Structure 1
């Protein structure tokens, strides 16, 4: 009986690994950064450009990228966060739910300023609730929500850059 369970577990694990490999699952490694983008640097402008560029830089470091002065440049422009009230308490008139939206544009250029990936727009939305019972938590909550928004924006930018056929093609 033990032998049969062991064999069954082996086939189950093998099947799961095969399914994960087939759906594109991969561990975070530098292997997903194409050779044309090795050493990519990140620069940001706008009120939230620095925070977004730092989030992209962190994600790239997790992928094994070390920015070089002679590497390509991921330029993030006009990055800002807008906030809109989407829910108000009918009894007190206090805002209860907000929608934060991250706006930015980005492009990738090589060292000679030749465009590898033309300008693309980024729009990331995230809603959060306000707890009127604990007003002191709002600043900390806002910081956490903004960090989450920047991390989501960074992952979206990298997904679009790294999967773009324009940057995956070898340059002559």
Structure 2
């Protein structure tokens, strides 16, 4: 490839980035926190409350939100994960596929202790298969699946909060 062609491609990509950045284009993680939610803090209760709250906090940090002690509060209550066997090997009788379900309630409370978003249920499901040929991989696989479940739950919570009528930003 010639040097001139490389420079043209570089300038094309740079120009495209400038154009997209100038028109307000954001990647999926850039969900822009509305002013009313700036400084949003996150707390969680229940067996999975801490993990889910951490996942939400990470998503908020990626978007530039820094929790403040006097900011509004995203409260996650009664978070837990249930697991159900959904298929069993007919030959060995060993469970082959599982369904993990994340259950929780979440609400947003203002710094003046007024409810900004009523309590809403959260239900996220994820299935995964067990490979009986590699039983040691199950713990690692389960940890990975739990992390993915928390990330999906965090994104769903933030999507629902940011798209609720009280917080939705007006597009100019």
Q: TM-score range by the shorter chain?
A: 0.7 to 0.9
Structure 1 or 2: larger helix share? 1
Which residue does 2:110 correspond to in 1? 110
Please list the CA deviations of residues 29-66 of structure 1 after superposition, one character each: whole Å capped at 9, or x if unmatched. Answer: 76621000000000000000000000000000000000
**2:93 is the counterpart of 1:93:** yes
Q: Which runs of 5+ in 2 are unaligned?
A: 1-7
2 CA distance for matches of 1:154 and 1:31? 13
1:117–1:167 Cα contact (<8 Å) kept:
no
| Structural mapping, 1:114-133, within 5 Å | 114-133=114-133
Root mean square deviation, CA, Å: 2.4
Matched residue SS, 2:64? coil
Runs of 4+ in 1 over 4 A off after TM superposition: 28-31
Aligned-pair CA distance for 1:25 = 6.4
Please list the CA deviations of residues 1-52 of structure 1 after superposition, one character each: whole Å capped at 9, or x if unmatched. Answer: xxxxx9xxxxxx9xx99xx9xxx96225766210000000000000000000
Matched residue SS, 2:106? strand
Q: Which runs of 5+ in 1 are unaligned?
A: 1-5, 7-12
2 CA distance for matches of 1:107 and 1:157? 9
1:75–1:106 Cα contact (<8 Å) kept:
yes
**2:158 is the counterpart of 1:158:** yes
Please list the CA deviations of residues 67-88 of structure 1 after superposition, one character each: whole Å capped at 9, or x if unmatched. Answer: 0001000000000000000000
Please list the CA deviations of residues 102-154 of structure 1 after superposition, one character each: whole Å capped at 9, or x if unmatched. Answer: 00000000112100000000000000000100001111111000000000000
Q: TM-score, normalised by structure 2?
A: 0.82
Q: TM-score, normalised by structure 1?
A: 0.82
Which residue does 1:3 correspond to in 2? none
